Structure 1
Amino acid sequence: MAFRKAAKGTALVGSGALAALYGLSQFSEYRRNQARLAHVEAAEQVQMTHQDELPSRQAQLATLKSTEEFDILVIGGGATGSGCALDAVTRNLKTALVERNDFSSGTSSRSTKLIHGGVRYLQKAIMKFDYEQYMMVKEALHERSNLLDIAPHLSAPLPIMLPVYKWWQLPYYWLGIKMYDLVAGSQCLKSSYVLSKTKALELFPMLKKDKLVGAIVYYDGQHNDARMNLAIALTAARYGAAIANYTEVVHLLKKTDPQTGRKRVCGARCRDQITGQEFDVRAKCVINATGPFTDSVRKMDDQRNPNICQPSAGVHIVIPGYYSPDNMGLLDPATSDGRVIFFLPWEKMTIAGTTDTPTDVTAHPIPMEEDINFILTEVRNYLSPDVEVRRGDVLAAWSGIRPLVTDPSSKDTQSICRNHIVNISESGLVTIAGGKWTTYRSMAEETLDAAVKEHKLSGGPSQTVGLMLEGAKDWSPTMYIRLVQDYGLEIEVAQHLASTYGGRAFEVAKMAQVTGKRWPIVGKRLVSEFPYIEMFTMVAT
């Protein structure tokens, strides 16, 4: 309690800065210790056995095809669906999950790679006195902290610079960012700070110098979204969930409730996309977690169901790494049409985006040329004229569909709140819609709470706060050194394996080692510019 008062005072009085820094360093150590205890407590509370060996896809399909009834069947293997499966199985519920493509093949792998509370949502909450958006930011900041703790190999804090070009904006933006820190409270990653024009240009030398007043730096998290999604799904599988990709739901199964006489969802007819074989998966509760495709599953339940999602396309482009520093991003909070643009370092390249345009989920989203040109224009607006930004610098582009929840009074998707809703149909289908990557865990918890209550399941409370994800155990920032020493891998390759697989990187390294040879360096790169290497497996004859 004393620290809370001290932190509050130093946020308002500049003379307490040194005391605040000392207090923050002490508190950071305290929070790390508390996180370690939370990890131990979370693991001990889970009743399911953690499996050392993952079942094969064939074994998982065999479990799905069994006549035994599951407690929970989740449709959708994105972040939210995988989070629901992990939440369910760690409540000791018999859980299944099916995904018609690869895990994280859709929206969950096409994000801005940020774990954030939503600075612009806090701005809207303050300007419009919107309590709902304020609570959404507060929840997201809590989940940001938890996600950084449970998957440290896949995530890390990232400083983001907000350049200021008008004097009056400096106190305005500073106050807003400090409010962001205060809302985070004890879960603030690092305190934001102001930079002079000279220091801002030292850190971000490609910035436009004319009229630059200074800059403000704040912290959010960055993560490998596709690998994070897969880590959640693999953790669910290790705790006993039966999960299978390339398994599409053809239609929902229903039976008549003897007490009410109404039809109730009791599972799904699935098709193995590889073999074409169809089979039934029976479950007491079916959860629809299909993101932008939410309404298609809802209409499987009842064609009369109205649409509850307004899909929006977000386009990102990849440009060379020299457009941003290696360890700092940049935020443009006020683009020409009111959208927010980020420039973020990623895999030695720079990600720039995103757009926010209404779209149709019936066709695979393709990045539109006008969206790419819009992003390039905004990049040019913030960079020095000495830096020539060319269309040919775009190395890649992708478009992801955000499953935004429709606001009936809204006329455009920019003003749609990214909050989520949990809907239960008359037939018992549980739908989780909306939300964002950062809050996948709390969304899953709320969904399972509703499912347990509606279907009178025996599951207890959620156990996923502090529960370490696949690869997090035994990982450390210096783990890659042992990979270099023990397996003779190149440093860049070892760093890639450690940051991708965490503590499981040693198992991967063994597959890249030629038997009986330690030197010269093993782990042949597939492409010289990237740290991806060949794997060697033993095939029985």
Structure 2
Amino acid sequence: MANPPKLDGAYRSKAWERLRDNQFDVLVIGGGVTGAGVALDAATRGLSVALVEQRDFASGTSSRSSKLFHGGLRYLEQMNFALVREALKERELMLTSIAPHLVKPVSFLYPLTHRVWERPYVTAGLTLYDSMGGARSVPRHKQLTRSGALRMAPGIKRSALTGALLYYDAQADDARHTLTVVRTAAAYGATVLSSARVTGLKRAGERIVGATIEDVETGDTVDVSASVVINCTGVWTDEIQTLAGGRGRFHVRASKGVHIVVPRDRINSETGIILRTEKSVLFVIPWGTHWIVGTTDTDWELDKAHPAASEADIDYILEHVNTVLTVPLTHDDIQGVYAGLRPLLSGESDSTSQLSREHAVARPQPGLYSIAGGKYTTYRVMAEDAVDAAGEDLGGDLASSVTEHIPLVGAQGYHALVNQVERLARKRSLPVWRITHLLDRYGSMLDEVLALADDDPSLLEPLPGAEEYLKVEVVYGVTHEGALHLDDLLTRRTRISIETPDRGVASAEAAARLVAPHLGWDDERIATEVAAYTARVEAERESQKEQNDQEANAERIAAKDVRNLAVGRALT
């Protein structure tokens, strides 16, 4: 694999020229993990590929998940063994060869509350979980007495459990992982573009032969020709199918999942925790110096770009997690909140928690394919299935998928660098923990990141207001990772927006000034970006004080999308 191209302004300009001048085999709509996976799968089969995303890469569901690569214990209980086996195989591939720099093992305590039947029942499930999917890279589950469990998690009430089991899954920064899949696709020749909105689909009779794409930053449009268009837009799937002028073969229903983020010292535990609720499960997930607690699972029919967490959502999470904690969490403990939408295949059940997490691929008309449903963990399989299906319209012999054997950017050489962290830390006069932090975000691209500081050592200083990150990471976000706006940097290239008490407001101006020379921003544009980011944070805070979805949505959409500010159009 060649080194990935720098997704900077020069790349973006050339990418628009390629869209205008070339006929592509595959045009992928949607820059979440599924679309990124489809672009990578198609490119590594030797196809010419373009990927377009109307906002930022991973700006929807793929930056707002529980950040787990897991089989899904509750799907075992639903007897969906095929889905669990498939997901656990993918977890193993990520941990070992595809993305070991990004995907890491994580342990969970499963508290038992019934003395007789529950331990053998859960043990049977976890024994199956340990053995499915070729899992070898995480330890097998362990039996714990109540005393043993409380030694690992003193923050749990003694009365909340009779014993416990400890089992392992895996986790990753979802936004960073998705971006890395995008960059890997670009390294294999895919043309990738954010702020590129599909405004129409091109036809030749009943066949879809491309799309009209608008540059959200400038308002320019271009017609793109493609043999196949693959719709990977998640909760927007039905809208793209409507653009094609017809009904799809399936419909997608949005389920809102809300998570809260609290400081690590607020829950005294060495391990994550999984709790059963009357509706689903609740995870307490280690996240660096924080915990992520969630999630909810409720129908959502309002604004899809910016789903809002209400006070009722947050109260639900607090109520359930506090049933087991010795020191209850309060609203004052919460540093971050995020809400995402799961794209579920619509079914007859009224409960979103019962809708299918399996995926489906459909060909609503010649040249157009839609893929929806599924789990983040199985994105690679989803992508393979979508490209396999598209072979019907591509013609010729379609090569088989090879992504099972394709490491993501930064994976190759990662383990050797882990063994050299002390030397790397001395070389750059940085603490070992900083180098480890960087390796777990960039892998073997670490040298490329740090090289930006060769001529400006001040870039190795912490970012004001978010000292866990270095200034150089913000700059790298625009010089190599395609960030176009302040929100891209503080929400997805870093996770400052959910990891700091002020949700990134204190870092906003410093970050904007760091990247201004690279993005051509003057003082007025810096002020616009900072104001837009601050307004977004304030709108989210206000929405989280409202009791229902309608009122929360109204507060959230009061802060308009910064991507429309660039060309001075009415905000949408």
Range class of TM-score, shorter chain: 0.7 to 0.9
Equivalences for residues 314-463 of structure 1 within 5 A: 314-324=257-267, 328-333=271-276, 335=277, 337-360=278-301, 362-363=303-304, 364-384=306-326, 387-408=327-348, 410-463=349-402
Tell whether the 8 Å contact from 1:74 to 1:85 is kept in structure 2 after alignment: yes
3-state SS of the aligned residue for 2:257? strand
Q: Is structure 2 residue 451 aligned with structure 1 residue 510?
A: yes
Give 1:511's aligned amino acid: L
- The offset of 1:480, in angstroms, is 3.3
Deviations 1:352-389 (A, max 9, x none): 000000002544211111010000011110112xx132
Q: 2:15: which partner in 1?
A: 60
Q: Which deviates the most, 283-292 or 183-192? A: 183-192
Count of matched residue pairs? 470
Q: 1:501: which partner in 2?
A: 442
Give 2:111's aligned amino acid: P
- The offset of 1:459, in angstroms, is 2.9
3-state SS of the aligned residue for 1:112? coil
Q: Which deviates the most, 153-162 or 505-514? A: 505-514
Deviations 1:13-69 (A, max 9, x none): xxxxxxxxxxxxxxxxxxxxxxxxxxxxxxxxxxxx624544622222221121x21
Q: 2:209: which partner in 1?
A: 266
- The offset of 1:531, in angstroms, is 2.3
Aligned CA distance change for structure 1 residues 92 and 165 (closer, same or farther; 3 Å) = same
Q: 1:10: which partner in 2?
A: none
Tell whether the 8 Å contact from 2:152 to 2:269 is kept in structure 1 after alignment: no
Q: 2:167: which partner in 1?
A: 218
Q: Which deviates the most, 422-431 or 275-284? A: 422-431
Q: Is structure 2 residue 237 aligned with structure 1 residue 294?
A: yes
Equivalences for residues 183-332 of structure 1 within 5 A: 183-187=132-136, 189-210=138-159, 212-256=161-205, 263-305=206-248, 308-324=251-267, 328-332=271-275
**Partners of 2:420 and 2:310 in 1: CA distance:** 42
3-state SS of the aligned residue for 1:530? strand
3-state SS of the aligned residue for 1:532? strand
Q: 2:467: which partner in 1?
A: 530
**Partners of 1:268 and 1:211 in 2: CA distance:** 56
Aligned with 2:65 (options 107, 111, 116): 111
**Partners of 1:455 and 1:153 in 2: CA distance:** 35
What is the aligned-residue RMSD (CA, Å)?
2.2
Q: 2:427: which partner in 1?
A: 486
Q: 1:128: which partner in 2?
A: none
Aligned CA distance change for structure 1 residues 304 and 86 (closer, same or farther; 3 Å) = closer
Equivalences for residues 93-112 of structure 1 within 5 A: 93-112=47-66
Aligned CA distance change for structure 1 residues 344 and 232 (closer, same or farther; 3 Å) = same
Give 1:281's aligned amino acid: V
Q: 2:107: which partner in 1?
A: 159
**Partners of 2:219 and 2:429 in 1: CA distance:** 44
**Partners of 2:68 and 2:4 in 1: CA distance:** 30
- Normalised to the residue count of structure 1, the TM-score between the two structures is 0.83
Tell whether the 8 Å contact from 1:196 to 1:213 is kept in structure 2 after alignment: yes
Q: Is structure 2 residue 38 aligned with structure 1 residue 84?
A: yes
- The offset of 1:327, in angstroms, is 5.2
Aligned CA distance change for structure 1 residues 59 and 358 (closer, same or farther; 3 Å) = same
3-state SS of the aligned residue for 1:465? helix
Aligned CA distance change for structure 1 residues 371 and 79 (closer, same or farther; 3 Å) = same
Deviations 1:399-435 (A, max 9, x none): 1000011122x12111112000000012331000100
**Partners of 1:503 and 1:533 in 2: CA distance:** 17
Q: Which protein is bigger by CA-based radius of gyration?
A: 1
Aligned CA distance change for structure 1 residues 287 and 51 (closer, same or farther; 3 Å) = same
3-state SS of the aligned residue for 2:424? helix
Tell whether the 8 Å contact from 1:268 to 1:281 is kept in structure 2 after alignment: yes
Aligned with 2:408 (options 449, 469, 487): 469
**Partners of 1:353 and 1:112 in 2: CA distance:** 7
Q: 2:119: which partner in 1?
A: 170
Q: Which stretches in structure 1 are left out of the alignment for 5+ residues?
A: 1-48, 126-132, 257-262
Give 1:420's aligned amino acid: H
- The offset of 1:279, in angstroms, is 0.3
**Partners of 2:437 and 2:298 in 1: CA distance:** 34
- The offset of 1:325, in angstroms, is 5.7
Tell whether the 8 Å contact from 2:86 to 2:133 is kept in structure 1 after alignment: no
- The offset of 1:497, in angstroms, is 1.4
Q: Which deviates the most, 522-531 or 284-293? A: 522-531
Aligned CA distance change for structure 1 residues 70 and 534 (closer, same or farther; 3 Å) = same
Deviations 1:433-466 (A, max 9, x none): 1001000000000110000134325430001003
**Partners of 2:262 and 2:127 in 1: CA distance:** 31
Tell whether the 8 Å contact from 1:51 to 1:240 is kept in structure 2 after alignment: no
Aligned CA distance change for structure 1 residues 304 and 509 (closer, same or farther; 3 Å) = closer
Q: Is structure 2 residue 32 aligned with structure 1 residue 75?
A: no
3-state SS of the aligned residue for 2:199? strand
Aligned CA distance change for structure 1 residues 286 and 306 (closer, same or farther; 3 Å) = closer
Q: 1:50: which partner in 2?
A: 2
- The offset of 1:324, in angstroms, is 4.0
**Partners of 1:345 and 1:52 in 2: CA distance:** 31
Aligned CA distance change for structure 1 residues 443 and 306 (closer, same or farther; 3 Å) = closer
**Partners of 1:173 and 1:356 in 2: CA distance:** 23
- The offset of 1:478, in angstroms, is 3.4
Aligned CA distance change for structure 1 residues 87 and 306 (closer, same or farther; 3 Å) = closer
Aligned CA distance change for structure 1 residues 522 and 234 (closer, same or farther; 3 Å) = closer
**Partners of 1:532 and 1:328 in 2: CA distance:** 24
Tell whether the 8 Å contact from 1:158 to 1:327 is kept in structure 2 after alignment: no
Q: 1:144: which partner in 2?
A: 91
Give 1:203's aligned amino acid: M
Q: Which stretches in structure 2 are left out of the alignment for 5+ residues?
A: 480-514, 519-572
**Partners of 2:127 and 2:449 in 1: CA distance:** 43
Tell whether the 8 Å contact from 1:88 to 1:448 is kept in structure 2 after alignment: yes
Identity %: 38
- The offset of 1:347, in angstroms, is 2.3
**Partners of 1:320 and 1:531 in 2: CA distance:** 13
**Partners of 2:13 and 2:160 in 1: CA distance:** 62
Give 2:2's aligned amino acid: H
